[in-house]
Chain A
Amino acid sequence: MSRKVCAVIDYGMGNLHSAHGALQTVAPDTQVVVTGDPDVIRRADHVVLPGVGAIRDCMAEIRRLGIDQVVAEVKKTKPLLGICVGLQAMLEHSEENGGVDGMGLFPGKVAFFGRDLKEQGESLKVPHMGWNTVAQVAHPLWHGIADHSRFYFVHSYYVQAKNPDHIKGHGHYGVDFAAALGEDNVFAVQFHPEKSHHAGLALLKNFLAWDGQA
């Protein structure tokens, strides 16, 4: 039997060493490849859509390289994990950069935390940067991870999902936001599992062991 392949989609937005290293660490028997080649992505057993930086540049590259079409195909047949801007790109629209349309895998939008974010009268800093808790909604990707475990977040925009059934993890920072969305083969997180130490590695391990059936 040939080794399973996990494709980490490279669309030129940087920092895939960590995602690659973390996935390879939790699944030494899986071949983790960083690639922008649509054929390699289509042949992979698991697909990861990472993303850092501004959504405008991310979406421009996703469209230019045809990643949006590949994602639309692979999500029907194999597990797909979105990370950070990779999650945000899956919504219909983002307020960032004056308004950018996403891939629309999930109904809803990405909104700015705002400059007057408050918690019980106390001002909150934006970006939301650091380790925060996630209230889990039952899903195979949380297997073995204690509810309310902390994950590493860094974002100024947050996901407002239209369909509450899609929310698989609840985050809170001044406002409630979707820390994780999921439907069928797709699971996507706002935090960085590849930067979230034990809890993050456990989630990645669960992803690579997942057959896409929630």
Chain B
Amino acid sequence: MALAKRIIPCLDVDKGRVVKGVNFVGIRDAGDPVEIAKRYNDQGADEITFLDITASHEGRETTVHMVEAIAEQVFIPLTVGGGIRELEDIRRMLNAGADKVSINSAAVYNPDFVKAASDKFGAQCIVVAIDAKQVGDNHWEIFTHGGRKLTGINAVEWAVKMAQFGAGEILLTSMDRDGVKSGFDLGVTRAIADAVNIPVIASGGVGNLDHLVDGVKLGHADAVLAASIFHFGEYTVQQAKQHMAAAGIEMRLD
């Protein structure tokens, strides 16, 4: 018996509502984040991640209330990412009931922010999100702004630096694979997972359950994150866990 690998469904939220198609059978109001979080919880999700794409300040308040409502009813870890720029943003999300926050662009602009956040709130709740894009053989660079801005920063070196700065976990998304459904970019996943001594969550590109297995076995990821394969009812989280367990991966099945 050992620590289980994790499956993390990811939801995009805008002003406290889940956006982008989520289409469970039996849920009429597909945008209700509490309903959706409960459903994934019931299916055995090990954690749930919310990516807040709310642009306005007022809208962010609604997201805080959403996190409060979910934390009162869903008893697995919750991560909120998107728009985390200041210590106060982190405090609000943690106070609302988030267990972790994910920092993306703000880390790139100001790496010391990760240090300050980790020192203040503890490494265990600081996830650094890395959007990586392949720019050459065994060479990946990080992007900001949803993949629009190339930074010239080597992704593997960046991950190592973020771990040194106090990140508790890395959420690695391959910009080449995101939405493509051809599987994780196992090259960058493995390069980063082997280079850092903190957990790495693989994200971007999951199209079937074998991709999840590959992310752990070949990519050396500690957790796998997926969105669309669960949202559209192709697979339940439980099916995914059973599949990974059958492939010999330690999973929580109870």
Note all chain B residues with C-beta closer than 8 A to A172: 1
Q: Which residue of B lies closest to A119 (CB)?
A: B2
Q: Does A77 contact B (CB under 8 A)?
A: no
Interface-side segment among B11-19, B91-99, B134-142, B174-182: B91-99
What does the 1/0 interface line of B34-59 toward A look like (CB < 8 Å)? 00000001001010000000000000
User: Is the Cβ of B4 less than 8 Å from the Cβ of A130?
Assistant: yes
Note all chain B residues with C-beta closer than 8 A to A30: none
Q: Does A209 contact B (CB under 8 A)?
A: no
The count of residues in chain A whose C-beta lies closer than 8 Å to any C-beta of chain B is 45
User: Is the Cβ of B124 less than 8 Å from the Cβ of A195?
Assistant: no
11 pairs, A vs B, C-beta closer than 8 Å: A14-B94, A18-B71, A21-B75, A53-B125, A129-B169, A131-B4, A131-B6, A132-B4, A150-B4, A150-B254, A156-B123
Kindly state the separation between the CA atoms of A196 and B95 in the bound complex, as whole angstroms. Answer: 19
User: Is the Cβ of B99 less than 8 Å from the Cβ of A131?
Assistant: no
Interface-side segment among A68-76, A99-107, A120-128: A120-128
User: Is the Cβ of A54 less than 8 Å from the Cβ of B119?
Assistant: yes
Query: A: which residues have CB within 8 A of B?
Result: 14-15, 17-18, 20-22, 24-25, 52-54, 57, 115, 119, 123-133, 146, 148-150, 152, 154-156, 172-173, 192, 194-201
Q: Which residue of A lies closest to B194 (CB)?
A: A123
Complex interface residues of chain B between 73 and 118 (CB less than 8 A to chain A): 73, 75-77, 91, 94-99
Contact of A17 among B71, B123, B252 (CB under 8 A): B71
Note all chain B residues with C-beta closer than 8 A to A54: 119-122
Note all chain B residues with C-beta closer than 8 A to A196: 75-76
User: Is the Cβ of A18 less than 8 Å from the Cβ of B97?
Assistant: yes
Given contacts A14-B95, A21-B71, contact A129 B197 (CB under 8 A): no
Q: Total contacts A to B, CB within 8 angstroms?
A: 120
Question: How far does the Cβ of B73 sit from chain A's closest Cβ, in whole Å?
Answer: 6
Note all chain B residues with C-beta closer than 8 A to A132: 1-4
Kindly state the separation between the CA atoms of A67 and B129 in the bound complex, as whole angstroms. Answer: 37
Kindly state the separation between the CA atoms of A198 and B46 in the bound complex, as whole angstroms. Answer: 12
Contact of A125 among B4, B122, B198 (CB under 8 A): B198
Note all chain B residues with C-beta closer than 8 A to A198: 254
User: Is the Cβ of A18 less than 8 Å from the Cβ of B75?
Assistant: yes
Of B68, B77, B120, which is in contact with the most chain A CB atoms at under 10 Å from its CB?
A: B77
Kindly state the separation between the CA atoms of A149 and B119 in the bound complex, as whole angstroms. Answer: 32
Q: Does B168 contact A (CB under 8 A)?
A: yes
Kindly state the separation between the CA atoms of A192 and B4 in the bound complex, as whole angstroms. Answer: 16
Q: Which residue of B lies closest to A55 (CB)?
A: B122
Note all chain B residues with C-beta closer than 8 A to A15: 71, 94-95, 97-99
User: Is the Cβ of A123 less than 8 Å from the Cβ of B197?
Assistant: yes
Contact of A154 among B73, B99, B120 (CB under 8 A): B99
Note all chain A residues with C-beta closer than 8 A to B72: 17-18, 20-21, 24
Given contacts A17-B68, A154-B99, contact A130 B125 (CB under 8 A): no
User: Is the Cβ of A127 less than 8 Å from the Cβ of B3?
Assistant: no
Given contacts A125-B199, A129-B124, A131-B4, contact A152 B76 (CB under 8 A): yes
Q: Does B202 contact A (CB under 8 A)?
A: no
Note all chain B residues with C-beta closer than 8 A to A154: 77, 99, 124-125, 168
User: Is the Cβ of B1 less than 8 Å from the Cβ of A197?
Assistant: no
Given contacts A14-B95, A150-B252, A198-B254, contact A130 B75 (CB under 8 A): no
Note all chain B residues with C-beta closer than 8 A to A123: 197
For the complex of A and B, the 6 pairs showing the least CB-CB separation, nearest first, are A21-B72, A17-B97, A131-B252, A17-B71, A53-B122, A131-B4
User: Is the Cβ of B197 less than 8 Å from the Cβ of A126?
Assistant: yes
User: Is the Cβ of A152 less than 8 Å from the Cβ of B77?
Assistant: yes
Note all chain B residues with C-beta closer than 8 A to A195: 75-77, 99
